[in-house]
Copies of this chain bind each other. A is one copy, B any other.
């Protein structure tokens, strides 16, 4: 097995998403974690590294040190996962891209538009792959939904309804020691978007990924229900897409009963479809004028696009980690292809990259501006 040597920035012991990235990287056995700068607190970085079995000399105190030292090793990391709060993404990604180390970065792209621009340049100047973990695009039936729209099964798209409600910030958890909530409610670390940046971007990315449409303009109403919360914890957005489709996007962190209820519905002249993240192994498709179909992952109605990223038979559910692993699997393919001389952008295939990241930043920025301008339509 020729595993890709992987490093990680962020993702220390108590971070949720770092563990997710690590499992995702292991599922298909394409990566081996060999280095890390796992925390901005050096002591914690060290203990986290030890807990994960990193060699002591490859558990670094800062990403800068890791980038420099690993770039100098013959057996240095080939790729790095960046799983820090948003404000660190840009600087960390640039440090590795400059050294030709491939980057797998969490979303949203950055905390500020300036950082996003700088990162755009860094990607352009590098030969390394840059993948953004809009992980929901890795679900097999999301891939199939995209393929169905692309091949015209829904006809011309008219209406797109995307939503991503959660309930974990219904109470003031950021004041109760929940670290995940602390940085997400802090503009300095999250950027200008609260829920809209954290989960709204996922919903928007999913809508664009599946429909193949590009947002034209939007009108947004962002709001903070949590007392003293500086960033939005609920967002209502109207969308107009190039070509005339219209849509709505709702995200919330204060909706009791909603866990990670990301859901997409797309309607066209010839049919409609629906997919929900919490039960991702089924895709509902209605050819207009016929009975609705329940398409299951690897089942009779599943397509090649879905089956290519599936592991177990129909009725044996795959979940969040497997969907995430499909991003890692795609990244591994892309990295090996680029190492073998393939064209970088072609190698990315369906993977979300800098383009999806910039679209997400444009979306967040437009939502904030529209909301500040009393829900005026803002061009994307």
Contacts and interface: CB of A to CB of B under 8 A. Distances in A.
B300 A290 contact: yes
Contact of A269 (B154, B166, B170): B170
A314 B257 CA distance: 11
Contacts of A27: 23, 26-27, 321
Contact of A291 (B274, B288, B295): B295
Contact of A292 (B163, B272, B273, B294): B294
Contacts of A270: 256
Nearest to A27: B23
A313 B223 contact: no
Nearest to A262: B315
Nearest to A53: B1
Contact of A238 (B256, B315, B375): B375
Given A159-B234, A259-B315, A315-B261, A291 B293 contact: yes
Given A167-B272, A272-B167, A377-B375, A158 B254 contact: yes
A167 B288 contact: yes
Contacts of A221: 219, 238, 240, 246
A181 interface: no
A304 interface: no
Contact of A316 (B246, B268, B315, B319): B319
Interface size grouping (class) on chain A = 35 or more
Interface in A279-330: 279-281, 284-296, 299-301, 311-322
Given A1-B53, A294-B291, A234 B246 contact: yes
Interface in A10-42: 16, 19-20, 22-23, 26-29
A259 B291 contact: no
A225 interface: yes
Nearest to A296: B259
Contacts of A252: 159, 267
Given A286-B256, A296-B291, A278 B278 contact: no
Contacts of A238: 219, 221, 236, 238, 375
Contact of A313 (B2, B259, B314): B259
A295 B255 CA distance: 17
Contacts of A274: 257
Contact of A281 (B16, B171, B261, B278): B278
Contact of A315 (B273, B277, B312): B277
A161 interface: yes
A71 interface: no
Given A29-B26, A315-B259, A321-B312, A161 B250 contact: yes
Contacts of A362: none
Output the residue of A22, A158, A261 with the most chain B CB within 10 A.
A158
Interface in A220-274: 221, 223, 225, 234, 236, 238, 240, 246-248, 250, 252, 254-261, 265, 267-274
A267 B254 contact: yes
A379 interface: no
Given A252-B159, A294-B291, A319-B318, A257 B236 contact: no
15 contacts: A167-B288, A168-B313, A219-B238, A221-B238, A236-B246, A248-B250, A252-B267, A257-B267, A257-B271, A259-B315, A279-B317, A291-B294, A316-B319, A317-B317, A319-B319
Given A256-B271, A258-B267, 9 more contacts: A1-B53, A19-B311, A23-B27, A158-B254, A167-B286, A255-B272, A260-B315, A278-B281, A291-B294
